[in-house]
Amino acid sequence: MTRWILGTAFLVSSSLAAIILLFLISGSFPIVIQHGWTFLTGVEWSVGETYGALPMIYGTVMVTLIALAVALPLGVGTAVMTSELVGPRMRRTLKSLMEVLAGVPGIVYGLLGMVFVTTWVRDSFRLIDGNCIFTAGLLLGVMILPTVMTLSEDAIHAVPDWYREQARALGLQRHEVIIHAVFPHALPGIFGALLLGVSRAMGETVAVMLVIGSLDRLPAPLYNVFAPAQSIASKLGREAAEAIGVGLHWNALLGLGLILFLMVITLTWSAEKIGWQGRLHRA
């Protein structure tokens, strides 16, 4: 009975993912036929004339990299402290706080970002407008921080105690035990946590849409993270409702959705594969 229920759940979830993928492929087919590779490499997006996805792809990648740069040191550092440097009662308290933060809706982060983060970025870097790539990446870094923290802490805490005991028996100090004995075995789980956090960052819509500036063009120069831009998710959030089912505009948006779907699926699969390798290594 249990096997039948689990098998049914697997088939339903797999079928839904396959249906979504087929819908995106069939919906984006007309834009691929008309524009070909220029859809991916084009830098101009003008409804009714030309559709280039490169500015949105660039915005998604840059925002995600900034979010990763924020979440990596803070998330892993907090995970190490929670797992290795505090007592069991404090660990449970901190874990509860992490999980509560992970459940805060994206719109709340977006509103706080509009009020505080954009103003801070504008004033700190003397910008005309604080809505830019850097602001969106900073906000996303804070959003994925609880996910990175709690999953990294689980990976570090799951390392068997005898690794720590043998390292201490060899005369290693506490920080050396963490670096040389605990960290290497927890690394696959930490990488998996980072990739899952990045997957969430790529798909975040409302919070990014409120602070990124929503400009459909590449910044000049490309490394200018203080320029307004557009991510795939924010582009879909702004235009999907007005373009639904209408001509090449709708097909182009479905093409963007397909690109984002494939990016997120690839990262999720990579995180799961790394996690399995870590579990096999520990076993």
* Alpha-carbon Rg for the chain in angstroms: 22
For the chain, the residue count is 283
Q: What is the pLDDT of residue 281?
A: 54
Chain segment 1-24, per-residue pLDDT in tens = 778 887 888 788 888 888 988 999
Instruction: Work out whether strand 50-51 and strand 45-46 pair parallel, antiparallel, or are unpaired.
Output: antiparallel
Between the alpha carbon of residue 105 and those of residues 47, 98, 99, 119, 185, the distances in Å are: 32, 14, 12, 21, 33
Task: Choose among 271, 273, 253: nearest CA to 261.
Answer: 253
- Give the model's pLDDT for residue 276: 56
Q: What CATH number is given to the structural domain containing 225?
A: 1.10.3720.10
Cα dihedral angle (51, 55, 61, 67), rounded to 10 degrees? -120
Structurally, the chain folds into a number of domains equal to: 1
> Whole-model pTM?
0.88
Residue 266 has a pLDDT of 85
State mean pLDDT over 216-227.
90
Amino acid 257: pLDDT: 92
Query: Percent of the chain at pLDDT above 90?
Result: 25
Q: Which residue range is the domain that position 176 belongs to?
A: 2-282
What local confidence, expressed as pLDDT, does residue 282 receive? 52
- Reading phi first (left if > 0) and then psi (alpha if -120 to 50, else beta), residue 167 is in alpha
Q: pLDDT, tens digit, for every residue of 234-252?
A: 999 888 878 777 788 899 9
Confidence of residue 279 (pLDDT cuts 50, 70, 90): low
Cβ(57)–Cβ(222) below 8 Å: no
Burial of 270 (0-12, 13-18, 19+ CB in 10 A): middle
Interval 175-200 mean pLDDT: 83
What pLDDT sits at residue 88? 82
Mean pLDDT of 185-209: 84
When pLDDT is cut at 50, 70 and 90, the band that residue 119 belongs to is very high
pLDDT, residue 278, reads 55
Q: What is the pLDDT of residue 277?
A: 58
Largest CA distance in the chain: 71
Quick one: pLDDT band at residue 274, thresholds 50, 70, 90?
low
Average pLDDT on 38-64 reads 90
d(CA 194, CA 58): 20
pLDDT in tens, 261-273: 998 888 878 777 7
| 196 in Cβ contact with 104 (< 8 Å) | no
Q: Is the peptide bond before 221 cis (omega within 30 degrees of 0)?
A: yes
Position 110 pLDDT exceeds 60: yes
